[in-house]
Structure 1
Amino acid sequence: MADAFDEDCDYLFKAVLIGDSGVGKSNLLSRFAKDEFRLDSKPTIGVEFAYRNVKVSEKLIKAQIWDTAGQERFRAITSSYYRGALGALLVYDITRRATFESVKKWLRELRQFGSSDMVVILLGNKLDLGHSREVSQEEGNHLAEEEGLCFMETSALEKLNVEEAFLLMITKIHEITSQKSLEAKADEILTKQLGGGEKIISIDEVTATKRSSTCCSK
Structure 2
Amino acid sequence: MPQLRPKSQSRDVKIAVIGNNTVGKTSLSLRFIYGDFHPGYFHTRGGDIYLKQIKVHDQTVNLKLVDTAGHPYQRSLIGPLYKDADGVIILYDVTSEKSFNALDDWIIAAQENNCREVVLVGNKLDLCKDSKKQEEVTNELKLIADRHNLRHYLVSAKTNLNVNRPFNRLLREVLQRQAAEQARALIKDKEEVHQLQTTEKQVSGCFDCIMS
Q: Confirm or deny a common fold (TM above 0.5).
A: yes
Q: Residue in 2 aligned with 1:205?
A: none
**Considering only aligned residues, what root-mean-square deviation do their CA atoms show, in Å?**
1.8
**For residues 121 and 51 of structure 2, what CA distance do their matches in structure 1 show?**
20
Superposition pairs of residues 23-42 of structure 1, within 5 angstroms: 23-42=23-42
**For residues 17 and 178 of structure 1, what CA distance do their matches in structure 2 show?**
24
CA contact (8 A) 2:66 2:82 kept: no
- Equivalent AA in structure 2 for residue 85 of structure 1: A
Range with greater deviation from structure 2 (152-161 or 128-137): 128-137
Q: Residue in 2 aligned with 1:210?
A: none
Q: Residue in 2 aligned with 1:94?
A: 94
**For residues 11 and 75 of structure 2, what CA distance do their matches in structure 1 show?**
29
* CA deviations over 1:153-172 (Å, ceiling 9, x no partner): 00000001111111111111
CA contact (8 A) 2:82 2:113 kept: yes
Q: Residue in 2 aligned with 1:191?
A: 192
Q: Residue in 1 aligned with 2:174?
A: 173
CA contact (8 A) 1:9 1:62 kept: no
Structure 2 CA distance for partners of 1:31 and 1:184, relative to 1, 3 Å: same
Kindly state the Cα deviation for residue 82 of structure 1 after the two structures are TM-superposed. Answer: 2.4
CA contact (8 A) 1:63 1:170 kept: no
**For residues 87 and 105 of structure 2, what CA distance do their matches in structure 1 show?**
17
Q: Residue in 2 aligned with 1:130?
A: 128
**For residues 46 and 9 of structure 2, what CA distance do their matches in structure 1 show?**
28
* CA deviations over 1:60-104 (Å, ceiling 9, x no partner): 011111011000111122011122311100001111111000000
Identity %: 24
**For residues 144 and 23 of structure 2, what CA distance do their matches in structure 1 show?**
18
**For residues 157 and 47 of structure 1, what CA distance do their matches in structure 2 show?**
21
Runs of 4+ in 1 over 4 A off after TM superposition: 132-135
What is the SS of the residue equivalent to 2:129?
A: helix
Instruction: Give 5+ residue unaligned stretches, structure 2.
Output: 1-7, 199-212
Point out the structure with max Rg over C-alpha.
2
Instruction: Give 5+ residue unaligned stretches, structure 1.
Output: 1-7, 198-218
**For residues 33 and 82 of structure 2, what CA distance do their matches in structure 1 show?**
20
What is the SS of the residue equivalent to 2:167?
A: helix
Kindly state the Cα deviation for residue 49 of structure 1 after the two structures are TM-superposed. Answer: 1.2
Superposition pairs of residues 100-119 of structure 1, within 5 angstroms: 100-115=100-115, 118-119=116-117
Kindly state the Cα deviation for residue 9 of structure 1 after the two structures are TM-superposed. Answer: 6.1
Kindly state the Cα deviation for residue 145 of structure 1 after the two structures are TM-superposed. Answer: 1.1
- Equivalent AA in structure 2 for residue 172 of structure 1: E
In the superposition, the TM-score normalised over structure 1's length comes to 0.82
CA contact (8 A) 2:27 2:37 kept: yes
Aligned length: 189
**For residues 70 and 171 of structure 1, what CA distance do their matches in structure 2 show?**
27
Q: Residue in 1 aligned with 2:157?
A: 156
**Greater relative contact order (Cα 8 A, min sep 6): structure 1 or 2?**
1
In the superposition, the TM-score normalised over structure 2's length comes to 0.84
